Amino acid sequence: MAEEKRFAILIDSDNIAPKYISIILNEISNKGTITYKRIYGDWTSSNAGSWKKVLLMNSLIPVQQYSYTHGKNATDSAMIIDAMDILYSGEVEGFALCSSDSDFTRLAARLREAGKTVIGLGESKTPNPFRAACDEFKLLDRIADDYEKDDSEKEKPKKKSDSSKKKNASKDNEKDNEKYSEAEVTPLETIAASLKDIIVESTDDDNGIDIALLGNRLQKRHPDFDTRNYGYAKFSVFLRKFDFLTLEHIGTSVSVTLKTPRDNDPIKVRIVEMVRSYGSKGVNLGTLSSEVKNEFPDFTPKEYGFSKFEQFVRSIDALEVKNSTPLNKKVYCK
């Protein structure tokens, strides 16, 4: 078994609230072993009082940094210098940068250039450049909502009947979707498009993609992706909200594929009609592609799980593709 990665947690106390400390430690503990826990701020300031209560309880090492100029955040430079010292020590494989400040964007990029895993943790107000510079970015306020929801559910007494829950399920889902549709997280439409691209690019016509691999590649495309941002505790449950996906258990793993459209799909039916209109002489594949695009401007083979138009046409049972010349392919009705 491979050894766990060692992580250094560096917290900007000016931009992170004490209420998030448990979440930060839990999230990074799931990634590996925490070897450094440092928090930066001016501990002579009255604003640091709320943090002082949790330093000893969580074994956080406070690093004093005076505010030399009023209105300037002096903790940034101290945190950056320490990060570079830790980097050159070679004692960790990953960094957890806890801040909502975009000033750490270049630091995150530099640490990744050195081959280190960088996990950012901040609130939804964190600018996109900092999020994108990390391998992963956790939205603490969204995760906190999820924690609070779990706690409240545990405190509720169990009822004999679940009928009322079922009646209110659709309303709750609508509220969740409204709550998690803000522009602060990657839009679901973007996530859906990425899922289609990843599956098409990573699979052949017969096999799907392992759910763990799918999640890993989606995370690389969208560092701030976390199912909890959208109100879901598990990735598998999150995927089931997309009606274009099929999840199949194969042994101990789960395979994800794009649903194959039926032959009565409107676009498939229309394509067969187009080919039939050319009679026995058939139609050039390129010509057919242009006609389909003109009639259905939003059509793309990836929506159906194919990387090329030819593959999509070959999936239609009523049609066949033949080479009329080495460089020319034509489509015929069977």
Q: What is the pLDDT of residues 223-251, one digit of tens each?
A: 889 998 888 889 999 999 988 888 888 88
Least confident residue range of 91-105, 114-128, 183-197, 281-295: 183-197
Alpha-helical (H) ranges within the chain are: 21-29, 49-55, 75-89, 105-113, 128-133, 140-155, 163-179, 188-202, 211-221, 235-239, 266-276, 285-295, 309-314
Exposed, middle or buried, 103 (CB in 10 Å: 0-12/13-18/19+)?
Answer: middle
User: What mean pLDDT do residues 65-84 have?
Assistant: 74
**Structural contact between residues 144 and 19, judged by C-beta atoms closer than 8 angstroms:** yes
What pLDDT is stored for residue 149 in this prediction? 54
The pTM assigned to this predicted structure is 0.64
Confidence (pLDDT) at 64: 86
For the chain, residues classed under CATH 3.30.420.610 are 185-257, 266-333
Q: Architecture of 5-145 per CATH?
A: 3-Layer(aba) Sandwich (3.40)
Chain centroid to CA 199: 14
Domain 266-333 in CATH 3.30.420.610? yes
- Taking residues 107-125, what's their average pLDDT? 96
pLDDT of residue 267: 86
Percent of the chain with pLDDT over 70: 81
pLDDT, one tens digit per residue, over 30-45 is 899 999 999 998 888 7
**80 pLDDT more than 50:** yes
Residue 41, pLDDT score: 87
**CA separation for the pair 328, 322 (Å, rounded):** 9
- CATH fold group of domain 185-257: Nucleotidyltransferase; domain 5 (3.30.420)
pLDDT tens profile 300-325: 887 776 778 888 888 888 888 988 66
Q: Which of 169, 103, 264, 218 is nearest to 210 (CA)?
A: 218
Does the pLDDT of residue 179 top 90, yes or no?
no
Classify residue 333 as left (phi > 0), alpha (psi -120 to 50) or beta: beta
DSSP 40-78: EE-TTSGGGHHHHHHHTTTT-EEEE---SSTT--THHHH
Residue 226, number of CB atoms within 10 A of its CB: 22
Model confidence at 167: pLDDT above 50: no
Reported confidence tier of residue 183, pLDDT bands at 50, 70, 90: very low
Q: How confident is the model at residue 10 (pLDDT cuts 50, 70, 90)?
A: very high
pLDDT at 161: 46
- pLDDT tops 80 at residue 156: no
pLDDT value, residue 160: 47
Question: What is the signed CA dihedral for 80, 82, 88, 91, rounded to 10 degrees?
Answer: -120
Per-residue pLDDT at 203: 64
User: Does the pLDDT of residue 204 top 70, yes or no?
Assistant: no
List the alpha helices (DSSP H) in 251-319. Answer: 266-276, 285-295, 309-314
**Banded model confidence at residue 67, pLDDT cuts 50, 70, 90:** low
Tally of residues, the chain: 334
DSSP secondary structure letter of residue 307 = S
Exposure string over 199-212, b if 16+ CB within 10 A, otherwise e: bbeebeeeebbbbe
Q: What confidence tens digit (pLDDT) does each residue in 249-258 have?
A: 888 888 888 8
CB 160 within 8 A of CB 40: no
Q: Is the pLDDT of residue 182 over 70?
A: no
Residue 70: pLDDT over 60: no
Q: What are phi and psi of 159, to 5 degrees?
A: -100, 155
User: Which residues in the chain are classed under CATH 3.40.50.1010?
Assistant: 5-145
Q: Rounded mean pLDDT of the chain?
A: 82
Q: How far is CA 210 from CA 119, 192, 244, 286, 303, in A?
A: 24, 17, 16, 34, 19
C-beta of residue 72 within 8 angstroms of C-beta of residue 44: no
Q: What CA–CA distance (Å, rounded) separates 115 from 65?
A: 29
